[in-house]
Amino acid sequence: MDTTLLLGLAAGFFTTISFVPQIQKIWKSKSADDVSKKMFLAVAFGVFLWLVYGIILKQWPIIIWNAISLVLAVSILVLKHRFG
């Protein structure tokens, strides 16, 4: 595995897991009052565009991590709707 691929996988991993603490906090507190819906809509749309970009380029690190990030960003939006 080359260094560039490892760098892409590591960058995607750390960017993607950054959503997890927010999801945990919302779930634990049953409150999403402090979460910005507009911000997460923008993030989800941006991540979706990155996913499409990765698919076009056939770049697996971009595809994998942005697909997971999109699921997590949408999860936050769902929790915002549920607990908002």
Question: Can you read off the two tokens belonging to residue 47?
Answer: 């991540």
Question: Residue 66: its pLDDT value, please?
Answer: 97
Contact present, 80 and 38 (Cβ < 8 Å): no
For position 64, what pLDDT does the model report?
Answer: 94
Go through the domains of the chain in sequence order and give each one's CATH number. 3-83 (1.20.1280.290)
Q: pLDDT confidence of 1, banded at 50, 70, 90? A: confident
pLDDT digits (tens, 9 = 90+) for 5-49: 899 899 999 999 999 999 999 999 999 999 999 999 999 999 999
Which residue, among 8, 2, 16, has the nearest Cα to 58 in the 3D structure? 8
Assign 81 a pLDDT band (cuts: 50, 70, 90): very high
Which amino acid makes up residue 74? V
pLDDT for position 63: 95
pLDDT of 84 > 90? The answer is: no
d(CA 32, CA 80): 5
